[in-house]
Amino acid sequence: MKLYDLKTGTNTRRVRIFLAEKGVKLPTVEVDMMTGENKSPDYLSKNPMGTMPLLELDDGTLLAESVAICRYIEELHPEPPLFGATPIERALIEMWHRRMELELMIPIIDHFVHSSAFYKERLSQVADIAHRGRLHAQERMRWLDGELAKRPFIAGDQYTIADITAQCALILGKNTGTPIPNDSQHLARWFGEVSKRPTARA
């Protein structure tokens, strides 16, 4: 297997943390997005979307979405169970993971993509999308703060893919203008704790 990576990417970080939590090391190829390597004919022949991460299996199968890659690794390496070990655990983790993607990660990405100079020449930026993304994300951070007053991790008592996704979203938010609100002490506590995990630097 071979992993095509982007060191600064949010979704690539999600896969790297997941792999590190599993204790799995893969050969990695860094794709240079700044020079447009991800838009080269060779890379697009592997992933027509031009995005990273991309996992190339030994039989030539190509997995190009971060959660699909994580699910595949979970099947190969079920311990620790980051998607849950029982039907109810898997359902609850799926529910919370979906919320972290839709309510936290996507709005933070919207703000970044539609306000960053990096994307100015790459797409048609809409200031209102950036503004609404930031407001929505911080609203949801305050909601999540209340949830984390009740338990140590996003989906319960154990660190899971839901935490990894929220963690990666908040790293991006911290660095691009959508930080954790000052009044969200439980979310800040959680973020501080997950950021101290050895895998957080993956």
Same domain, 147 and 66: no
| Residue 45 domain boundaries | 2-76
Show which of 76, 108, 125 is a domain's final residue.
76
Give the predicted TM-score (pTM) of the model: 0.96
Whether 113 has a pLDDT exceeding 90, the answer reads yes
Q: Report residue 117's pLDDT band, with 50, 70 and 90 as the boundaries.
A: confident
What is the bridge-based pairing of β-strands 2-5 and 54-56? antiparallel
* Residue 137 lies inside a defined structural domain of this protein: yes
Among 22, 41, 76, give the residue marking a domain's end: 76
Phi, psi dihedrals of residue 33, rounded to the nearest 5°: -70, -30
In this structure, are 59 and 159 located in the same domain? Answer: no
Among 76, 100, 123, identify where a domain stops. Answer: 76
Residue from 6, 21, 173 nearest 105 by CA:
173
Question: Are 55 and 138 found together in one domain?
Answer: no
Q: How far apart are CA 94 and CA 97, in angstroms?
A: 5
171 in the same domain as 94: yes
Residue-wise pLDDT for 134-158, tens only, equals 999 999 999 999 999 999 999 999 9
Tens of pLDDT, residues 44-63: 999 999 999 999 999 999 99
